[in-house]
Structure 1
Amino acid sequence: MIDIPSPESTARAFEERYGRRPDGVWSAPGRVNLIGEHTDYNDGLVFPFAIERRTWAAVGMREDRLLTVHSGAMPEPAQASLDALDPSEFDGWSAYVFGVVWAMRERGVSLDGRVGVDIMLTSDVPLGAGLSSSAAIECGVALALNDLWDLGLSRRELICVCQLAENGAVGAPTGNMDQTASLMGEAGHGVLIDVRAETAEPVALHFADENLELLVIDTRVHHEHATGGYGARRRSCEEGAAAMGVPSLRDLSESDLPRAAEVLDDETFRRVKHVVTENARVARTAQVVQADGPRAIGDLLVQSHASMRDDFEISVPELDLAVETALANGAIGARMTGGGFGGAAIALIDVGRADEVGAAIEAAFADSGFTAPIIFVVNPAAGAHRDL
């Protein structure tokens, strides 16, 4: 087990496991979604940023056709063959790794003549917290294989590979926001993603200029996208678009909501209302943060949380308490982040107030009988790259 993951410690762990130095170490970040939840698979707008928390992949080529992967967090190694990649046989967390190779093949990358690889993974991205630990694994491994196998795939192509791995191998019906943020992130910037237009624009967030930072409150209520309510919400969106006669909810604006209220049942309407209003909030946030600075986006974050709580119904009591307590203790804005049903909340706060706000949240959780949260600060960081 590696206490403090880093490029060099991951390389040493690889050497201890496999008896040789790796051919390189690559890393990819987790992400926080500043605003724009459940809009990505509706052809909409999202506004995440990459964070300092990363997954490192030390990778070494081998002479046969085997793929092996070992993780500091998952002591049992996993193995697959380049000649027998079947997602139905991928087991647990290793599906994120082997799924990338499978997705490369499905997207036309020839595996003929390729040698296998050994992989050692370490990470400080919390699992199940809504910070996209899965995309960090996928993107780090994909970038490593792209380099080692000399595939020449662009970042945009790698995003598609990683999304296919998540959808087809893992079975999670997610969009590509997480992979885009992980591969396209820039220090100090958010990534304004237009899913329909397939664009990813860096937008300066100016947190440091305004003496602000983002507090992450990991509720430790774990979620899994492959199960539960995520798929149900996606189906509701598809049904709502069909009933409204449009290809996707991106084609609706807030002026269409009165008609939607007449056409749709109450639950489907509220799902549609969230996506339509959330798209508008994302666009507004990107405009406001550039024109007026990050202190002006607080109300938009709060409105987003209310929409996810009341209309999309993906919050949980722990998330609501984290948001309410942060706001009551001076946060400029706060909301849950990620797919919902657990995970993390975020709060935009003044630098130097993390301990004070965090202590208030911890006390509120204790008073409510909730598991103690894990609380830490993140700032916008660089995307996936080679470290060693």
Structure 2
Amino acid sequence: MRVVEAFRDAYAGSPQTVWHAPGRVNLIGEHTDYNDGFVLPFAVPWGVTAAVTPRTDGVVRVLSLQSPGEPATFTSYDQSKGWTRYVVGVLAMMGEAVSGADIVVDGDVPQGAGLSSSAALEVAVASALNDALDLGMTPMELALLSQKAENDFVGIPCGIMDQAASALGQEGHALFLDCRSLASRNIPLDLGAHGLSMLIIDTQVHHELADGEYAKRRAECESAARKLGVAALRDVTDLAGALQQLQGDERKRVMHVVTENHRVEALIGLLRAGAVTEIGALLNASHLSLRDQYEVSSPELDVAVEAAVRGGARGARMTGGGFGGSAIALVPVERLDSVKESVSRAYDERGFSAPRFLPAVPAKGAHRVGVS
């Protein structure tokens, strides 16, 4: 395993433990997590592997195989910069339980595709430290600690969805998560049995959630909730009445969040009824809401969704935070080539960079891998 070999080269010893944590794609339930709502993500085959040995001298050494060179060394958490803040943030949130570590990470999550490489990095490091130090934290506790690292240390006000999907995902299943109670259950998602495939369409447009737009949407939702007298938008039960009390962007944000929660529940109902082929309409509706009410889409995402449906997809939508990243399309297996051709042609006609296509197969959540 190359992460282990790199660890030995960098630190002249074998790692105490090695963990892998996946990225995620969200089937439906977008921008609902930080509104105490419902989400339905699943783990993807790509992720981050972390080789870790704890230290006792307060020193943190971090090396990424995606950033060749010497390990970055910190004697204070505040010294970390860039991507290392996601790693160091996890140690900071663990407090006195950890006093430094030697870490090497290796990732294959497509960067900028909106598949949450940051959550995979956090959960992999947190899981490895939990194992090495025998802290006894549950997968959900590790997800919450990783979220806190991103919120409080990195400064991105993300919800719990990404880290939960990475920590708790199961192969062949989507994860239904109530972001308020943190109750979760795995929902079987066997697309192949119905002749379907979930295709990720990476627009190759990279986004940066820390640029203010993500935080702005969250602030608008919190402001709307205060005006409506509810703890979070998840608590809005009379949508028509709520919309009469709001204006402008806040009105549109509430419209999206409330209807998106309904779509999550409806989609789960269809999956449980075995009507997998019928979920496409909910994906389409989700995209339109994200485009028009939440205003987080982009021309490249819109073209990908429209061209995929035109090419034979049963439904499609943007996934992730928005402003770039990826769309997903529910495609009959026999129409995969047609959908890819349709999207590629539409991009070429508009002068967009060629998209990348990735198969979205529900994968295993964070797990220990052998040191060899």
Q: Does 1:234 align with 2:211?
A: no
Aligned residues: 369
Any conservation in 1 of the 2:17–2:131 contact (CA below 8 Å)? no
Please report how far the alpha carbon of residue 352 of structure 1 lies from its aligned counterpart in structure 2 after TM superposition: 5.0
Which ranges of structure 1 fall in alignment gaps of 5 or more residues?
Answer: 1-7
TM normalised by structure 1 equals 0.92
Q: Distance in 2 between matches of 1:210 and 1:312?
A: 32
Q: Which residue of 2 aligns with 1:79?
A: 73
Any conservation in 2 of the 1:206–1:293 contact (CA below 8 Å)? no
Any conservation in 1 of the 2:177–2:184 contact (CA below 8 Å)? yes
Which segment is superposed worse, 272-281 or 89-98?
89-98
Q: Which residue of 1 aligns with 2:61?
A: 68
Matches within 5 A, 1:273-284: 273-284=255-266
Q: Which residue of 1 aligns with 2:37?
A: 44
Q: Does 1:33 align with 2:26?
A: yes
Matches within 5 A, 1:377-388: 377-388=359-370
SS in 2 for 1:92: coil
Q: Which residue of 2 aligns with 1:374?
A: 356
Partner deviation per Cα, 1:113-157 (whole Å, 9 max, x = no partner): x55322111111112211110000000000000011111111121
Any conservation in 2 of the 1:205–1:293 contact (CA below 8 Å)? no
Partner deviation per Cα, 1:259-318 (whole Å, 9 max, x = no partner): 223211122101110000000000111111111332110000000000000000000000
Q: Which residue of 1 aligns with 2:140?
A: 156
Q: Distance in 2 between matches of 1:189 and 1:31?
A: 12
CA-based RMSD: 1.5
Q: Does 1:100 align with 2:90?
A: yes
Q: Which residue of 2 aligns with 1:243?
A: 227
Query: Structure 1 counterpart of 2:25, which letter?
Result: V
Q: Does 1:225 align with 2:206?
A: no
Query: Structure 1 counterpart of 2:246, which letter?
Result: L
Query: Structure 1 counterpart of 2:72, which letter?
Result: A
Which segment is superposed worse, 146-155 or 317-326?
146-155
Please report how far the alpha carbon of residue 196 of structure 1 lies from its aligned counterpart in structure 2 after TM superposition: 1.2
Which segment is superposed worse, 351-360 or 138-147?
351-360
Query: Structure 1 counterpart of 2:306, which letter?
Result: E
Q: Which residue of 1 aligns with 2:110?
A: 126
Please report how far the alpha carbon of residue 19 of structure 1 lies from its aligned counterpart in structure 2 after TM superposition: 3.0
Please report how far the alpha carbon of residue 21 of structure 1 lies from its aligned counterpart in structure 2 after TM superposition: 2.5
Matches within 5 A, 1:4-15: 8-15=1-8
Partner deviation per Cα, 1:313-346 (whole Å, 9 max, x = no partner): 0000000000011100111110000011111000
Which ranges of structure 2 fall in alignment gaps of 5 or more residues?
Answer: none
Any conservation in 2 of the 1:205–1:290 contact (CA below 8 Å)? no
Please report how far the alpha carbon of residue 63 of structure 1 lies from its aligned counterpart in structure 2 after TM superposition: 6.0
Query: Structure 1 counterpart of 2:226, which letter?
Result: A
Query: Structure 2 counterpart of 1:104, which letter?
Result: M
Q: Does 1:176 align with 2:166?
A: no
Please report how far the alpha carbon of residue 62 of structure 1 lies from its aligned counterpart in structure 2 after TM superposition: 4.6
TM normalised by structure 2 equals 0.95
Q: Which residue of 2 aligns with 1:266?
A: 248
Query: Structure 2 counterpart of 1:219, which letter?
Result: T
Q: Distance in 2 between matches of 1:276 and 1:158?
A: 29
Any conservation in 2 of the 1:170–1:226 contact (CA below 8 Å)? no
